[in-house]
Amino acid sequence: MTYEFTLTTELPAEAKEIYKHWLCSEGHTAMTGAIAHITDSTGQAYDAWDGYISGENVELEQGYKIVQSWRTSHFSPDDADSIIEIVLQANTAGTLLTLNHRNVPDEQTDYEKFGWENHYFTPMKRRFEWLQLKATL
pTM: 0.94
Burial class (CB in 10 A: 0-12, 13-18, 19+), 71: buried
pLDDT tens track, the chain, 137 positions: 899 999 999 999 999 999 999 999 999 999 999 999 999 999 999 999 999 999 999 999 999 999 999 999 999 999 999 999 999 999 998 999 999 999 999 988 888 888 999 999 999 999 999 998 888 87
Single-letter amino acid, residue 38: I
Query: For the chain, how many structural domains are there in total?
Result: 1
Whether 132 is in a domain gets the answer yes
Whether 70 is in a domain gets the answer yes
Whether 11 is in a domain gets the answer yes
Whether 88 is in a domain gets the answer yes
Do 79 and 99 form a contact (C-beta atoms < 8 A)? no
Whether 48 is in a domain gets the answer no
Q: What is the CATH number of the domain that holds 108?
A: 3.30.530.20
Whether 42 is in a domain gets the answer no
> Domain range for residue 114?
2-22+58-136
CB neighbour list of residue 57: distance below 8 Å, 6 or more residues apart: 23, 38, 39, 40, 41, 42, 43, 44, 46, 66, 67, 68
Whether 49 is in a domain gets the answer no
